Amino acid sequence: MVKVKLTLHSSQLTKEELQHLIQSIRDCEQIRFPDKELSIWIEVPELTRSECAEILTSIKPPYKYGPTTTGLISG
């Protein structure tokens, strides 16, 4: 198994732009790696858990596991 960690950082993305970015990553992985099982870890300290869960559950097709949210901000 190969482990890949991708870190993106931007203080300029809105919640909607973040959702579009994650969906674009998901779309690309479905096209380029249809036989691979991938997961994604996202840290967004300025959003609440419920906002993060909302973004992650909007991604289609859904990931096999998740969304799981952790963090200090509850909501």
Instruction: Please indicate, yes or no, if residue 1 is contained in any of the structural domains.
Output: no
Tokens of 36: 């691979």
What is the distance between the alpha carbons of residues 38 and 36, in angstroms, rounded to a whole number? 6
Q: Write the pLDDT tens digit of every residue in 6-63.
A: 777 788 899 999 999 999 999 999 999 999 888 777 778 888 888 988 998 999 998 8
> Furthest-apart CA pair in the chain: how many Å?
35
Q: H-type helices in 3-66, by residue range? A: 15-32, 49-57
Tally the domains of the chain: 1
Do the domain assignments include residue 37?
Answer: no
Instruction: Answer whether residue 62 is part of any domain.
Output: yes
Structural domain contains residue 7: no
- Which region holds residue 50: left if phi is over 0, alpha if psi is between -120 and 50, else beta? alpha
pTM: 0.79
The domain in which residue 55 lies consists of 15-31+42-70
Flag whether 57 is in a domain. yes
